[in-house]
Amino acid sequence: MTTAPAIEALGLAKRFGRTTALADFSLTVARGEAFGFLGPNGAGKTTAVKLLLGLCRATSGAAEVLGAPVGDRETRRAIGYLPELFRYQEWLSAREVLGLHARLIGIPRTKRAAHIGEALDLVGLAARADDRVGGFSKGMQQRLGLGVALLGEPALVFLDEPTSALDPAGRRDVRAIVENLRARGTTVFLNSHLLTEVERVCDRVAFVDGGSVVAAGSIAEILGASRSLRMHLESVDESVRAILSRYGAVAAEPPSFTLRGVAEGDVPRLVTELAAAGAQIHAVEPARTTLEERFLQLLSHDDADTHDRRADAS
Amino acid sequence: MPTLTIAALTLREAVRRRVAAVVAILSLVLVALIAWGFWKLNGAIGNRTEAIGADAVLAILLAFMFSVVLGIGGAFLAAGSIAAEIDSGIALAVLPRPISRAQYVAGKWLGLVTLVISYAAVSGALAFLAIRFAAGYDPPNPLGALAYIIAQSVALLTLALLLSTRLPALAGGVLSVGLFGVSWIAGITAGVARALKAETLAHVASAVGLLLPMDGLWRGAVFDLTPVVVQVAEATGHGQHVNPFGVSDPPTPAFLVWCAVWIAAVFGACVGSMRSRDI
């Protein structure tokens, strides 16, 4: 059994004319993990996915997928892909679309019907299997796309905004599908704006902005880096403020405020020091940072850096 | 195997999108009109020799109409076959599969060529049979003419497929049909220039005819549909000066080899263009 990562990208760059879509993009995704790929619009997420699938050619850098160079034809049998812009032959039925992909993957003729039936059941389209795709709603087409991506039990699945056209029930179904894929050892590369979904199903995430990865790690690592405390204090004088600023960054003015960036082990000592300094402590509770908050922090930090760089330049 | 899958898909698309049905109905109506027209024409002309001459001219005009329909139809289908899949996003789902860009292009080409050959064979056979039954007239070499018309259409659709790898469907369709027209005009211009002994113009028009060999192939069809007596008149100079559409000689073997090389080269450019294209 190969030990090569599911995805390994090193310094990938992609330029379209003068526009740099991706710059020095490096990333490693282990086999069997559900990986969240996050970033604002235009950050380069879809370009990165297309490079890893061989749909676009990198301007520089290198990448391997499932231990083979990007674009390797045999390896592509083991890769499923649901594009963000999902469109299938509207003049075919859902079953025929899956049949087409089953032939392209090389599923033996005798096993095709079973694989197609499984995919239809999995995405909830069995009842509409023989209807033309042209009559499907966007949500149904996205379900079909998911079925196409999962056909033939791929080892690696790229899902680019897989719930963009789905209702809440559909999103729940996709979450269950991703959890099921992870349970059976399939690597899932999930590109999504729905950070709550990503937080629920992914082992690790990477934030991409401006064409390169700005942060990557497990969910715990990403969120742990910014532990916050919600506090309600009264009698806050300069000495209390000095203590607070030693432990973290005060957001908003007391009495009710959030103290960001406090190390977990420092909380008891912080409370003791505040009490000794005469602060009246009404509430101290850990504020769990969501992935969404962390995402916005990273972006605002990035914006500030950009602003600083511009200021320096001027 | 992936090539045949894409070819079968291309054929199925033509059937499902009712292209095949519309073309079949149109062809049947045209064949019926042809039979009626030939029957009426031969009834109006009492002299058998004169009737054969009129039948020959009418047969060539009808073949011209069929070749234009076939050429333009094939060009528009080819111009949309890759571009539309890239623009709509269908290609995003198909191309990550274990299929090379060359196989994808070959599948599209094969499907379109099969479609053109099927249509030309069926509609051509029906048209020639209709002429035989209505007027008792058989063109000298209908199979040869059919082969030239098919070759002309294959050349044009290969060019349109190349354009389809880079241009939107409509732009590719309009441009390929425009180039078809340029080829046709170049052929006529070359004939007129030779008759008027305008050598420079004749050379330029001939060069354009080599770069866009569709008209040269069509002239092969005209030769095969022209009765021997008219061919002799053209060859001896009695027809050439007054008829730039007339053909006195069949295409040379060298020209036919050139056409095969041309189609292969354009197909190769199509594969190369697709390989280097970001989807």
Least confident of A214-228, B92-106, B174-188: A214-228
Distances (CA, A) of A127 to A121, A144, B213, B272: 9, 12, 52, 43
- Type of residue found at B257: V
Tell me what pLDDT residue B232 has. Answer: 62
Residue finishing a domain among A220, A237, A256: A220
Per-domain residue ranges of chain B: 2-275
CB contact under 8 A, B279 and A104: no
**pLDDT of B33 above 50:** yes
Domain of A202, CATH number, reads: 3.40.50.300
Same domain, A194 and A276: no
pTM: 0.84
Q: Report the Cα–Cα distance between both ends of chain B, in Å, rounded.
A: 23
Which residues on B lie below 8 Å from A100 (Cβ)? 5, 9
Percent of chain A with pLDDT over 90: 49
Least confident of A127-136, A295-304, B166-175: A295-304
**pLDDT of B259 above 90:** yes
CB contact under 8 A, A50 and B2: no
Work out the mean pLDDT of chain A and round it to a whole number: 87
CB contact under 8 A, B96 and A53: yes
Q: How many CA within 13 A on the CB side of residue A184?
A: 11
Q: Which of B15, B90, B103 to mutate to test the interface with A (most CBs of A within 10 A)?
A: B90
Identify whether the C-beta of residue B198 lies closer than 8 Å to the C-beta of residue B228: no
**From B9, B12, B97, residue closest to A76, measured CB to CB:** B97
Q: Answer whether the bond into residue B168 is a cis peptide, omega within 30°.
A: no
Same domain, A243 and A205: no
Q: For every residue of chain B, which 3-state class applies, written as one string?
A: CHHHHHHHHHHHHHHHCCHHHHHHHHHHHHHHHHHHHHHHHHHHCCCHHHHHHHHHHHHHHHHHHHHHHHHHHHHHHHHHHCHHHHHHCHHHHHCCCCCCHHHHHHHHHHHHHHHHHHHHHHHHHHHHHHHHHHHCCCCCCHHHHHHHHHHHHHHHHHHHHHHHCCCCHHHHHHHHHHHHHHHHHHHHHHHHHHHCCCHHHHHHHHHHHHHCCHHHHHHHHHHHHCCHHHHHHHHCCCCCCCCCCCCCCCCCHHHHHHHHHHHHHHHHHHHHHHHCCCC
Work out the mean pLDDT of chain B and round it to a whole number: 88
- Which residues of chain B approach chain A closer than 8 Å at the C-beta? 1-2, 5, 9, 12-13, 16-17, 88-90, 92-100, 276, 278-279
> Which H or E run includes A286?
strand A280-287
- Return all residues near A93 (Cβ < 8 A) that are at least 6 apart: A129, A130, A131, A132, A133
In a domain, A302, yes or no: no
**Cα–Cα dist A42/A85, whole Å:** 15
**pLDDT of A202 above 80:** yes
- Which residues of chain A approach chain B closer than 8 Å at the C-beta? 16, 50, 53-57, 73-74, 76-77, 79, 81, 83, 85-89, 91-92, 100-101, 103-106, 145, 148
* Boundaries of domain holding A278: 227-288
CB contact under 8 A, A83 and B95: no
Name the DSSP class of A254.
Answer: S
Percent of chain B with pLDDT over 90: 56
Identify whether the C-beta of residue A177 lies closer than 8 Å to the C-beta of residue A82: no
Tell me what pLDDT residue A312 has. Answer: 44
Confidence band (pLDDT; 50, 70, 90) for A254?
A: confident
Per the rule left: phi > 0, alpha: psi between -120 and 50, beta: everything else, A80 is beta
Domain of A267, CATH number, reads: 3.30.70
Which residues on B lie below 8 Å from A103 (Cβ)? 1-2, 5
Same domain, A131 and A194: yes
**Cα–Cα dist A145/A83, whole Å:** 8
Same domain, A215 and A254: no
CB contact under 8 A, A81 and B93: yes
ipTM of the prediction: 0.85
pLDDT digits (tens, 9 = 90+) for A222-252: 876 557 788 899 888 889 989 988 888 887 7
Token digits for B167? 């241009």
**pLDDT of A313 above 70:** no
Angle at CA A191, nearest 5°, toward B101 and A76?
30
Same domain, A110 and A259: no
Which residues on A lie below 8 Å from B1 (Cβ)? 103, 106
Query: How many domains does one find in chain A?
Result: 2
Same domain, A123 and A62: yes
Tell me what pLDDT residue A301 has. Answer: 59
Q: How many CA within 13 A on the CB side of residue B246?
A: 21
Tell me what pLDDT residue A309 has. Answer: 43
Residue finishing a domain among A220, A240, A273: A220
CB contact under 8 A, A87 and B88: yes
Confidence band (pLDDT; 50, 70, 90) for B66?
A: confident
pLDDT digits (tens, 9 = 90+) for A70-96: 989 999 999 999 999 899 999 999 999
Identify whether the C-beta of residue A9 lies closer than 8 Å to the C-beta of residue A178: no
Same domain, A112 and A161: yes
Same domain, A28 and A174: yes
Residue finishing a domain among A220, A246, A271: A220
Same domain, A24 and A109: yes
Confidence band (pLDDT; 50, 70, 90) for A310?
A: very low
Which residues on A lie below 8 Å from B98 (Cβ)? 73-74, 76-77, 104-106
Which residues on B lie below 8 Å from A105 (Cβ)? 97-98
CB contact under 8 A, A88 and B92: no
CA distance, residue A53 to nearest chain B CA (Å): 6
pLDDT digits (tens, 9 = 90+) for B207-251: 999 999 999 999 999 999 888 766 666 666 554 444 556 677 889
**pLDDT of B53 above 80:** no
pLDDT digits (tens, 9 = 90+) for A145-194: 999 999 999 999 999 999 888 888 888 888 888 888 988 899 999 998 88
Q: Which of A79, A89, A109, A132 to mutate to test the interface with B (most CBs of B within 10 A)?
A: A89
**Cα–Cα dist A29/A9, whole Å:** 9
Tell me what pLDDT residue A193 has. Answer: 81
Same domain, A168 and A232: no
**Cα–Cα dist B92/B111, whole Å:** 20
Confidence band (pLDDT; 50, 70, 90) for B138?
A: confident
In a domain, A309, yes or no: no
Tell me what pLDDT residue A302 has. Answer: 55
CA nearest neighbour of A257 among A275, A233, A236 = A233
Which residues on A lie below 8 Å from B276 (Cβ)? 57
Least confident of A63-67, A185-189, A255-259: A255-259
In a domain, A308, yes or no: no
**pLDDT of B119 above 70:** yes
Which residues on A lie below 8 Å from B95 (Cβ)? 55
Same domain, A142 and A69: yes
- Average the pLDDT over A295-302 and give the result: 70
Same domain, A76 and A204: yes
